[in-house]
Amino acid sequence: EIKSIINKAVQENELSKNEIVKLLQIEEEEILEYLYQQADKVRKKYHGDDVHLRGIIEFSSYCKRDCYYCGLRKGNNVLKRYQLKTEDIITQALEGVKLGYKTIVLQSGEDDYDAEKIAYIVKEIKAKADTAITLCVGERSFDDYRLWKEAGADRYLLKHETADKDLYQRLHPGMKYEDRIERLIFLKELGFQTGSGNIIGLPGQSQESLAEDILLFKELKMDMIGIGPFIPHQETPLKDENKGTVEMTLKVLAITRLLLPLSHLPATTALGSIDNYGRQKALQAGANVVMPNITASKYRSRYEIYPAKICIEEKAADCRQCIGGIINSLGRIVAIDRGDSLYI
C-alpha cells in the first residue's frame, strides 16, 4: 500500500496530507530505500546528473531577532559578532566566481545592513562578473526588496521554517507567520526566483505539520527549497532539546522531490553537519544543489548558527575542491550553467 502511494506521487506529483503523513511514518528499511530511489530517479529525469553549486558568503552575524533555535539570536551575548565591509564582500564574491561558482549567495543575520549598500554590492558584483546573486537577509521592507531586484539580484531565500502557525509564533518572538508568507508571495511577484524551506525536528513539531510544509512549498511553487535538521545550540532556549534526525530530513526531502520535480533542492550544510555523509545521502534522495561556504576563513567560526558546523577551518578553495570530489564520487557532475529556476 505504501509503495502505491510512492508510485502515485511519482506519476502525478500530487498527494494528500494523509498520504504524505503515511510516507513520513515509513520505518521499513526496504520501503525507505524505495522512496529514496524514486526521488533519485525523479531528480535524474528533470535535472540530470548536474549538481549546481552556490557559493555562500556569511557577511554579518549581527541579528536583531531572537529565533529560539538559532545561535545568532540577539539573546546570545557570548557570540563575538562581525560585519564585513562592502568592499570585502565584493572581493570575496569575485574570488568565488574565480573558483567557478555561477551563483553567489549573500547571507546574514537580520542586521539592518543598509539597503543602499546591499544594492551597491549587487551592482558591483554584477558589473564585474557573470554570476547569479541570491540574497538571504531575512524580513525586510517591500521597498528594500524592490531596490535589490532593480539592482540586479536574481534570487531570494526566506525559509518559512514551519507551517505550524502556533509553533512559528512560539519560536519567533515578535514575528508573525503571516508576514513571512506575505513576503514570500511578494518576492515571487517582484520576479525573484524564490526559495523557502523548513527545519526538521523542531521541538513540538508534528508529522502533520511537516506534511503541511511540503504542501505549502507546492502551493507557493517555490523555486528553491532548503530542508535541514534542527541542531540545538548551547546559547539558546532550545539547548536541551533533541536534534532532528537524518532519516526524517531525508524523508521530507525525498517526498518534496516527488511533489516538486522542478524545484532546486540543496543537500544542506546542516545535514552534512550531523552526519559525515549527510550531503551524499541527500544528493541520492532528491537533492541537486550544494551550497559550499566561501566566507573568508577567519570569520567562519563566528557565524555559529548551530554547533559543529562543517567547513569552519577550510578556505573557499578547499571547500570547492572537496565538494567537487564528493559530487564526482557519486557519479555526478558539477554543473557549468547558473542553475536558474526551471519554472521560468
Residue whose CB is less far from ligand SF4, 140 or 264 = 140
Is 161 one of the annotated binding-site residues?
Answer: yes
Judged by CB under 6 A, the chain residues 256 through 285 that form the site for ligand SAM are 270
Q: Does 54 bind ligand SAM (CB under 6 A)?
A: no
Binding mask 98-137 for ligand SF4 (x = CB under 6 A): -----------xx---------------------------
230 binds, among ligand SAM, ligand FES, ligand SF4, none (CB under 5 to 8 A by kind): ligand SAM
Is 70 one of the annotated binding-site residues?
Answer: yes
Write out the residues near ligand FES by the rule CB under 6 A: 292, 310-311, 314, 318-319, 322-323
Is 63 one of the annotated binding-site residues?
Answer: yes
Q: Does 160 bind ligand SF4 (CB under 6 A)?
A: no
CB of 93 to ligand SAM, least distance (A): 17
299 binds, among ligand SF4, ligand FES, ligand SAM, none (CB under 5 to 8 A by kind): none
Q: Does 202 bind ligand SAM (CB under 6 A)?
A: no
CB of 213 to ligand SAM, least distance (A): 12
Q: How far is Cα 253 from Cα 244, in angstroms, rounded to an integer?
A: 13
Q: Does 70 bind ligand SF4 (CB under 6 A)?
A: yes
Q: How far is Cα 239 from Cα 242, in angstroms, rounded to an integer?
A: 8
- Span from 24-32, 106-114, 174-182, 214-222 in contact with ligand SAM (CB under 6 A): 106-114
Q: What end-to-end distance do the CA atoms of the chain give, in Å?
A: 36
Residue whose CB is less far from ligand SAM, 42 or 210 = 210
Q: How far is Cα 230 from Cα 310, in angstroms, rounded to an integer?
A: 15
Cell of 135: 540574497
Q: How far is Cα 96 from Cα 56, in angstroms, rounded to an integer?
A: 9
Q: Does 161 bind ligand SAM (CB under 6 A)?
A: yes
Is 180 one of the annotated binding-site residues?
Answer: yes
282 binds, among ligand FES, ligand SF4, ligand SAM, none (CB under 5 to 8 A by kind): none
Binding site members:
63, 67, 70, 161, 180
Applying CB under 6 A, the residues found at the interface with ligand SAM are 69-70, 72, 107, 109-110, 136, 138, 158-159, 161, 199, 228, 230-231, 233, 270, 305-306
